Amino acid sequence: MCGIVGYAGKHHAVPYLLEGLEKLEYRGYDSAGIAVNEPDAIRVIKTRGRIGNLESLIASQRHSDATVGIGHTRWATHGKPNDVNAHPHLSEHGLFCVVHNGIIENYLSLKAQLIADGFHFASETDTEVIAHLLEQNYDGDFVSTVRKTVAMLEGAYALCILCRDFPDSIVCTRWASPLVMGKNSDGVFLASDVTAILKHTDDVFYLDGREIALIENGALTFFGPDGAAGEKQPKHIDWSVSAAQKDGYEHFMLKEIMEQPKAIQDTVSPRISSDKRIVFENFHLTDDEIAHLNRIVIVACGSAFHAGEVGRYVLEKMTRIPVETAIASEFRYRDPVLDSHTLVIVISQSGETADTLAGLRLANEKGAKTVCIVNVVSSSIANEGGSVIYTHAGPEIAVATTKAYSAQVAVLYLLSGYIADRKGLLTDDARKTYVDALLKLPDLIDQTLRDCDDQMKKFAELFIPMEHAYFIGRNLDYACAMEASLKLKEISYIHSEAYAAGELKHGTISLVEKGTLVVALAACSDVFGKTMSNIKEVKARGARVLCVSTSENAAAMNEVDFKVIIPDTLPLFAVTLEVLPMQLLGYYTAKSRGCDIDKPRNLAKSVTVE
């Protein structure tokens, strides 16, 4: 969840640090700070609030000529967001300075021992423990001291460290939290997310777990957990610099909503062969292993979990294998029954989601087959999965996901068709019909966005004064309702819930009264009539109903107050179209209510802590 940046090179460090922090502010915006190595001391400047507060504070102080520095933007975990708890953190006598993403689980016992040894703590954070341990373990060798210190830590961490005795150096290491670095003729750049350094280089090095990197005088040296120096090849990033900028849009969220046709095109098209078969790179399940699968478990969090709910319906229908979805934060604590005939699919935009990564590791330990759906190349989940299928959504900056969610659903469509085909469940005609419909989705998404944009601006006005709203649907429509409800609540702060429409009469309908807003998702033709019956139930209690369905059902939507019509497609794919007006509804409602759309309160983009 927090953001880390660093620079060591030929130029003044502060402008590079601030530029990087601005690009990472979506990862945390409770407080921010920088530290630079000056001739006689490590200078720290930090403050509560947004990056703008930090920029004003720096502007009010004397200029720094330092060419080496680190920075951090925080999403608070240990200690309230204030100046003292903001990163970076200094050690007892200012010898070391640390920025940290993650959580140190044994920090209380380490802190107690350090206090007994005479160290004093200024903050409530777990990070300050690391700074003091570095000073206590200092042996005159920067890298050796870091290795000795991290061996004492339990939990997740990405660390960037300055040492007063090594003014031209930064040492970095990580476990279960990302770090990436790259270099050009101006110096070495590092960050917790590649978007912060894309402007300077698109060839980057991803730090492996418990690997240590030494940045010294413009050079990068990598050390394995055993201390041995080794070679490392850079990865080329295809994302453009403009993909991480607003390009004239008022918010990243709206830009990313409108990028969905390209995201789906880039995700689907490379996986379709000339003979209309689905193909994957980095996919290692054999036909024999697929034939012997007797269960599929989808593990994810948040919107990725909602994508998994779509996948549950589609996979089960297409492959005839029982499928369940599991919230990652609950999955490993229930001692799940997994074996070599189980396929565990883990989904994460960042590839670093802590609970999802833990679920993947558990699946690997139990001998299950694993497939990972991620957006970030060489992320932890991508590196540890048995097979990996990348979504090609490009960088997603807004905290509320849109294009990454849709790309995840597209991959689940691909995977469902692939497994069904490998099991011999599809005729040639059925396979080609399925694939042709997949290839048409980008154009249908573009059409839906164009048709619905003005309409959803108007409908957003209904939600402005609301404190409660409800979303209902059946089958795939219910899966979409969960994502639609989340989009509204997380950026507009309207209390919103999604319910299986058939469950209304089992208690939920007691919440419906005159004027209640209900959004009914009704694109599934098999249960359209049933959903219309549920709409009548809420209408009888005084609800106003906004209904989303396909053009073939438009004439039958005579019970609703407001209609949104999406194009016809294969029934399994309709959810990809009906989520689009719901994304726009959330966006325009939040905008009308004056909310901070790209940076909703209490939320951050990448959840790398439990």
**Residue 265, CA distances (Å) to 271, 407, 411 in order:** 10, 9, 11
The distance of Cα 602 from the centroid of its chain, to the nearest Å, equals 15
> How buried is residue 356: exposed, middle or buried, by Cβ count under 10 Å (0-12/13-18/19+)?
buried
Catalytic residue check, 301 = no
Work out the angle at residue 256's Cα, subtended by the Cα atoms of residues 251 and 257, and round it to the nearest 5 degrees: 100
Torsion, CA 346, CA 390, CA 181, CA 20, rounded to 10: -90
Catalytic residue check, 2 = yes
Beta bridge partners of 325: 298
* Residue type, position 69, single letter: G
User: Is 4 in contact with 101 (CB distance < 8 Å)?
Assistant: yes
Q: Tokens representing 251?
A: 């918010």
- Work out whether the CA dihedral 488, 491, 492, 495 comes out positive or negative: positive
Q: Which of 421, 413, 424 has its CA nearest to residue 571?
A: 413
Side-chain-side CA neighbours of 211 within 13 Å: the count stands at 22
The catalytically annotated residue of 111, 255, 489, 605 is 605
How many Å is the Cα radius of gyration of the chain? Answer: 25
> How buried is residue 275: exposed, middle or buried, by Cβ count under 10 Å (0-12/13-18/19+)?
exposed
The catalytically annotated residue of 2, 301, 524, 547 is 2
Helix, strand or coil, per DSSP, at residue 298? strand
**Residue 148, CA distances (Å) to 97, 118, 275, 319, 502 in order:** 16, 20, 56, 50, 58
Query: Which residues are the active-site residues?
Result: 2, 605
